[in-house]
Structure 1
Amino acid sequence: MQHSGENASRKSLIGLLVIGVLLMAVLGWVLAESRLAAWRYAAGTATNLVTALQRDIDRTISSYDLSMQATVRALDVPAFALVDPVSRQQLLFDGSIEARNMGSMFVMDADGKVIHDSGPLSHGDKVLADRDYFTIHRDQPDAGLYISRPYRSRMTGEWSVALSRRIAGPQGQFAGVVVGSVRYSYFTALFSKLDLGPESTITLFDLGGTLMYRSPLMDAEIGRTVTDVSVLQRLREGRLAPFDGISRVDATPRLFAFAQVGTLPLVLSVNTALSTVYAPWVGQATVVGGVSLVLVLAGLLLLRAIQTQQRRREQAERDLVRSTGLQQAYFDNAPDALFIVDVADDGTLRYEGVNRSCEILTGVSAAAAMGKRPADLFPAALAMSIEQRYRACLTAGTTYSYSDTRDLPAGQRDCNTVLVPIQPNGGRITLLLGSTRDMTEQNRLQSEQHHASKMEAVGRLTAGVAHDFNNYLQTIVSSIDIMAADYLAGPEAMEVALTAQKAANSGARLVHHLLAFSRQQILQPRRLSVANLLAETHKLVGSSALGPGIRFKIAVEPFTDDIQVDPTQAESCLLNLLLNARDAMPNGGSLVLHARNATLEDGVFGNLGAGRHVIIAVHDTGRGMDDDTKSRAFEPFFTTKMFGKGSGLGLSMAQGFCRQSGGDIRLLNGGRVGTRVELWLPAATAGMLVGEERDFNLATIGQGTGRVLLVEDEQDVSAALAAVMVSAGFEVVAVTNATDGMARLHDRDPYDAILADYALPDMPGPHFLACAAAQVPGLPMLLLSGYELDDATVLSLPPLTKLLRKPARRLALLNALREAIGESRATILAA
């Protein structure tokens, strides 16, 4: 019995041992599997984070690089040196570089001196020739985009990295560097919401092993170079799968998931501490340890562990289902066109899925695209281009982006596409994940903004040139008037003087045309009959100028309103349009001037002011304009005529005149042939009277008395104006600025009038006159200007101040003085 009991005990012991061994084996297998599952889950999460983060960084730096390349191109604009500093800054930097924690951008010349800055215009004499980005581009012409080592800002103490590109001169020589910066606050903001667990980090190395960024930030490690970084070694060897290793920075064991940032020389690594990865497994191991110590309860503990593991697996499955559902919802509803391309073993590319945005953009449904090649869905040329891009991504083995313009069912669209290769476990690429963003509207808005900035800069330049030219003409006109009136007696000399006067008048008209383009000329609107205006314009151009082969007709519809415009500018505008129409019909044709009231059916467009308008149309049967010419027709200096045959300012000045008058201009196709140009001009108001012209001649200048204070900063202009007034009997005291003018008001001998220029060096002319009126109430005042004065400026002038347009003729100046001073203060006797 005892033996049988021992056998039974032995068998029980053996049974217990077998059960214990089996139990330990099962427990060991469960622990090993759960440990591997925890590692795989953490590796997948880290890999997804790396893909998303490096894509964001690549796009951000690439977008900033495009801004720097645009700055390099802007420096090659031929008229760049003539642009004023504010417009120059707009052309170079376009006001968009401060977005997303990007630092300011600046331009250095070949000596390392900062010559342009996106920040304040006054950049001093800062020289940065010792910086690595300067020496790299100076010594290596093919360096391309260069990313510097990290550095601390001397102003804020914040870490940054510099981005730079080389500027080449006309012969390809080194001409300087354009430099921008990425603040570390960008990386901090990007990584701040990621919770990877304690002791986990995100690092950014360059390909040489320099630590560019670390989250959390460790100042002592930033910029440190480590030559044996495992991540970089594996990247060079093409082993891109996540792995376990020891950090070279702080010797902490971690799981490393990494990828190169696009095509940039940067490597992003998400490093999860193994203590975080295996935290769930440690809990399981503790349970198993308790189970191994209490063998009697091994079965129960094993059952509990299995149940716990089952629950965790079920929760993981539920989490996976939820995550998959969220991913599918994002895929289906993303605003960008998303698509998945399967890469077969033989290299065949077939679509595995497309979202709704992709269906709308391409016009191909998801069902039709499933399992099809690009050649099965798109025209041959487009399919070949698409497949070449996919092959380029497969060859590069990394994120690949490109932009192109496609003819799609929605029309011609500008598309930006990003392709991400998917390599399970670091093996061959089995999928391409792509996203395409429709950039058509954004590109259009950017183009319009760039065009508006360019036009504003050209307008400022034109206005500045016209202002200076006005001063020269004032000197010339005044000098010729004095010579013709007082010094030239013979008919031959008078004929030469009159010729010079005609040339000066032509120059004045050119100035007004330039100011019309920049919308800064002084307009003198009057009530005009449209029929009379068209008839006078026809007389000006004449039938001979139009040519015998052109049939000309004027058609004014009954009850057409009078218009309210400057007659001289209106005639000049129509004259330019008639000559353009003539040039468009070298073999003859029909030319019609047609006028009528605008109606509700005509609609509203452009910059039309309020109220009624009259349409004056110039309609020719010439060769017309293609779409490209029509889109650029109003650009200054753009012309399709041969060199020397046209200035390219006709339509630009016509547009400036119409808009400044409260109307606008538009181009239309002239029916089957030709072009129709419509001027929309404001109808005259009921209370506006027809203006009268005064006829002055040299015989009616006369003599006068009076003391005049002349305030003009241009010496030649001041001398010429003073000579005109002195020749007519006035006493003139000339000063060059408003400060001296205010001081002279307290002279012992009083003044009978003040003549001041609009643009004075120390204060605007209207402000000076207002201050002078406060000191000497009732003193007659005249303001001389080549610019149009806005309503606010006119209202700020002292009462009864007279306005003179530059260049002012002698008769107009003296007559204005006579009217301002009055017969009680000065008398001009008829000669």
Structure 2
Amino acid sequence: MPFLRQFFSHRLIWLALLVSLGIGALFARTIWTIRADEWNYAAQTNANLARTLEQGLSWALDTFDKSLEGVAREVGRPEVWALPPDLRARVVFDNSLRARGAGDVLVLDTLGNVVLDSGPLPPRRVNFADRDYFTAFQSGGHQGLFVGKPVPSRVTGLNILPVSRAYYRPDGSFAGVVVGAISLSYFNELFGSLDMGPHSGVNLFRSDGVVITRFPYGDADVGRSLAGTPNMIRFQKEGTGTFIGTSTIDGMERLYSFRPVGRYPLILNVAQSTDTVLAKWYRSAWVLGGFALLLMVSCVGLATLFVRELTLRQQVSARLREAERNTRTILDNMPSMIGYWDAGLRNRFANQVYFEWFGVRPERMPGMHLSDLLGPELFAQNKPFLDRALLGEPQLFERTFADVHGVARHTMASYLPDTEGGKVRGIFVQVTDISERKRMEDELFDEKERVRLTLQSIGDAVVCADAHGAVTYLNPVAERLTGWQAFDAAGHNVDEVVNLRSPDNDAVLASPLRQAMEQGLAVEAVRGVVLHRTSGQRFQVEETSSPITDRHGAVTGAVAVLRDVTESVVMAERMAHLAQYDALTDLPNRVLLQDRAQLAISQARRDGKCLAVMYLDLDGFKDVNDTLGHDVGDLLLVQFAQRLKAAVRASDTVCRQGGDEFVVLLPGLDGAEPACSVACKILASCDLPFELAGRVLQIGLSGGIALYPQHGDTFDALSRHADSAMYAAKRGGRMRFMLYRGPDETPEVVLADNAGGRVR
């Protein structure tokens, strides 16, 4: 019975559809026939109208052309030009020229000047040599009647259509042109009695596509060329006919009926808007179509209502089958093993994965006991979880077993009780193979352990932060430098944990780690100072940072590596100091002395001042080294250097030249007197004995002085002269200073007196 009801209900629907389609086809045929009749009637009417208008225009042009031909014949006779002007005008121009719409007729000579005028006497003084009709005849390229381009009249100012013929001398040479004008208003009056509906009208063109008149659209397009447009090409190619086309001027679709105007180079077309042609048909089509649609809908609606209940039942049944099929398809294609076992642990449903893991076809599963599927050993392992699930407790656990192919599978099993009214009806079972995940977790753990051990074993500090700048990791070296423990620093702002400061002015530097995250690029080494959190100890570091990106290139954090360069910086500063200072006395060496001397000479030259260079040598130093040893000699040099620095100004430079030789640079002097005063102070500093290794020794010195600019304008020259003066002091008895006097003079002796002055 259900099959029969379904069969007949479908037949009824198809029958109703066929009947409604038949009604629709009948009405569509009728509507289309009416449309074709309307279209054919409009095409025939427009063609007849075009023919009638063409005949009227052709007759008018024939009349006007015969008049022009007569004028051309008369003016071509020499005896006519011998007549008096008034008689000549009456002979040449007769009443036949007074046709409706025709203007004055002019006779032009070979230069285009008016020589005869059908209007007033004498002829108007106008030249038409630039008109297209005149140039056409003058060049000899045209014979017979010429229809010119519509132009505003130079006489009346109105739009006219010039029509012309050439006239010739008895010898056949060109003598001039006879031209007449037809007012364009004549055509508008001729077409004015027509009412063709909106967007419809009559157009007159020259055969080359120039617009003469478009009624009722006014004179805006007069003289415009439509040559090359699709409609004009059809007019020129086909001559006579009817077609549907779109206007180039206004884009309207119209029904065009066109034909040439007699033997003249003119094309007339009647253009009726397709909307106007089909206006009545549209109204009829809507009425008939609405009635047909009503019949069709009624027919189908009655059939639909009749079978509605049966169809709804069929749809519900189909949906249930579809849902069952979709559920089966989804479950069979899931990577997990999914099944349902009743309270007696007998199967009610199993997906395809059961077959892949246990080799049992799904159709054999219903009714099978779970112990038969798992086997005694695996069933015993799962039995505690099954018992708790049957008591209503969800179970989630991991289990490893070998499938039917002997492949070990690490799985995650879920037992979800199906309860109704507080009683467990069965268990939903889902078992997911997580072998690959476990393998990746093991590999990830091993990799993280290797990275952790690597970071802990390297000698540089490593700081990691997330995309928000929060610290995520510190290695032990970073803990030592910053004073933060890794668990304390986690989550803190990286600028708080690693506060990089300038080694010059202790100003806070921009975080290279944040720069790396913002720019997405590695930041080169930045030198700075890190302050220990608790002890306040300062560490000189070089920080380099690099962004951490995911596989899509998005920045997820950054890592900073801080290298402790405190000892390197101290060593570099020490090396820089040793490069310019004596290691024993900590006095400037000759390198630093050279720089200060050059600067002092430049300053003295600019200020007009003097400076002095002193060379000093200890008397008896070699005996101290030989008798008491070099350690005592070094102690003597240190004590003498201290006395020497105390005897000069802070702006002066005391340099150890080597051995027991010293050099003193005295800048900014006003002459030799201040230099001699300093020499006396230096001599006085040796009055007290030196205490060396438990011994008291009296040590003297000898010195030489050279002045800038008196004794030289370079430091090398001053050094040589001071050195020669020093050796003169040694030769002269020691414990004295001698002032250089010149290359050919003996240096002057500078001695200390009670007043602290000098004598010569």
- Give me the TM-score of the superposition, normalised by structure 1: 0.34
Higher-Rg member (1/2):
2
Specify which structure has the bigger relative contact order, considering alpha-carbon pairs within 8 angstroms and separated by 6 or more residues: 1
Which has the larger share of strand? Answer: 2
